[in-house]
Amino acid sequence: MAMLVNGLPSEAVSALDRGFNYGDGVFRTLQLRHGRPWMWRWQYARLADDAARLALMLPDEQKLLDELMALGREHALAVGKIVITRGVGARGYAMAGAGAPTRIVSATPWAGYPAEYGERGVAVRWCELRLSLQPRLAGVKHLNRLESVLARSEWSDAALQEGLLLDQDGWLIEGTMSNVYLLRNGEVQTPLLDRCGVNGAVRDWLTDNVSKFGLKFSEMRLSAADLIDAEAVFLSNSLMGIWPLARLGERVWTPPPLLQALRQALLQQA
C-alpha cells in the first residue's frame, strides 16, 4: 500500500485527530485503473455531498486526483481510498476547536473480484444486526462503520459473498458493503435512504442511466418479502460494480439479459 497524509508519504495520523477519536470524517473507496479513478464524476460528487452534510472542508478536486493518480499509476488495477477528517482538535465534541482537515489518500494493488460474481451472481444471507435510524447521517459514508463491521462478522462461509441488512422497523436498506436493487414491473427499485444507510456512487450512476434501458428508477420502502418476490435482485458498490443475486437461502434467481447489459454499460463507464 502507498499512502499520503496531507500530501506527504506517511502512515501516521495524530492521536488527537477527530477522525480517530470520534469518527468525525468521511471516506470513499474506488477503483484505480492505471492510476485513473473509475467513475470519478460520481465519486467526487458523493464525497462533496457527504462532506457538506458534516460541514467538512473538502480539499481541491485536482489535488485529490493528482494524489490518486501518483499513487496508483504503476498498477493496472488498484483500490484507491480517500479519507477526510475534521483534523486535530482539543478534547470535547465541539467542532470549533478543530484545526485544518486531515487528508489521507492511499492506493493498494488489487486483483479484482472473480468474474463469475458479476456474470453468474452471488449467494447472500440475511444479517441479524438491525441498522439504527439517524436521518441526519442517512446516506453519508462517514467514518463510523461499526454496524457494517459487526454485521460482516456474523458469517465466515466463503460461499457467501454478502449479507443483507434491515433497519429497526424491518425495512430493507442495504448490504454490509453494497447498495441493493430489485427488478420489478419494469422498474429498478432501491431502498429509500432517508433514515439510515449509505448512498454509493454506483447508485447515483444508476439513477442517471437506467432510463436508457427502458427502466424507471424508484426509491421506496421495501420489505424482505418484496426482495424475495422480485424478478431479479442485484447489488452494487465501487469495487464490485454490479453483482446479481443468485441465491438467498432457498430462493434462487437467474440473472436476466437486461441486467447483464446494465452491468456491461457500467463497466465501460470512464
Rounded to 5 degrees, φ, ψ at 156 are -130, 5
Work out the burial of residue 258: count CB atoms within 10 Å of its CB; fewer than 13 is exposed, 13-18 middle, 19 or more buried: middle
φ, ψ at 247 (rounded to 5°): -155, 135
pLDDT tens per residue, range 57-99: 999 999 999 999 999 998 999 999 999 999 998 888 988 777 8
Q: Specify whether the CB–CB gap between 165 and 152 falls below 8 A.
A: no
Grid coordinates in use for 98? 478543530
Q: What is the pLDDT along the chain (270 residues), one digit of tens a residue?
A: 999 999 999 999 999 999 999 999 999 999 999 999 999 999 999 999 999 999 999 999 999 999 999 999 989 999 999 999 999 988 889 887 778 999 999 999 999 999 999 999 999 999 999 999 999 999 999 999 999 999 999 999 999 999 999 999 999 999 999 999 999 989 999 999 999 999 999 999 999 999 999 999 999 999 999 999 999 999 999 999 999 999 999 999 999 999 999 999 999 998
- pLDDT tens-place string over residues 213-240: 999 999 999 999 999 999 999 999 999 9
Question: pTM value?
Answer: 0.95
- Beta-strand (E) ranges in the chain? 2-5, 8-9, 25-33, 36-37, 77-85, 102-109, 122-131, 162-167, 172-175, 179-184, 187-191, 216-220, 232-237, 241-248, 251-252
